[in-house]
Amino acid sequence: MHFRTTADSDTYAYATSPLNFGGVEKEDLLFWMLPMAIANQFMDDPFYAFAIGCFCLWLYKRLTMNTPPGHMVLRLSVWMGQLENGELAEMYPAMKKIARFMNRFLTNLWLEVGLLPSPTYCNRYEP
């Protein structure tokens, strides 16, 4: 989902998907699926892996109960933007190139799956 923005406007439109499963957003499923997949590799019974995945999801939802949907993606994008513009990237040009590549990659990824793009690129993704 790509929206065009212009320099004439100071408002931005984000194309996000309202799809969720019982209050679980798309990004929250990472905290259910990844621990469940990892636990399934080490345990004999898939029920225990499922229980560990559900516990990790419950714990994540409990710790982030007063945050808006999409906060994890936004925090990661802000952190990548700060890394790209920070003093560590100024000292090491290779770090700046890696951070810029990761920021562009994450922005394209978020746009493709319908999540918020990086705030450092919110006015730069013209086709």
pLDDT digits (tens, 9 = 90+) for 52-106: 999 999 999 898 888 776 677 677 777 877 888 888 888 888 888 888 888 888 7
What is the residue whose two structure tokens read 């790209």? 84
Structural domain boundaries of the chain? 23-66, 69-116
What is the pTM assigned to this prediction? Answer: 0.56
What Cα–Cα distance (Å) separates residue 37 from each residue in 21, 30, 46, 55? Answer: 19, 10, 9, 13
| Spatial separation of the C-alpha atoms in residues 39 and 94, rounded to whole Å | 36
Query: What digits encode the pLDDT tens for the residues 29-58?
Result: 888 889 999 999 998 889 999 999 999 999
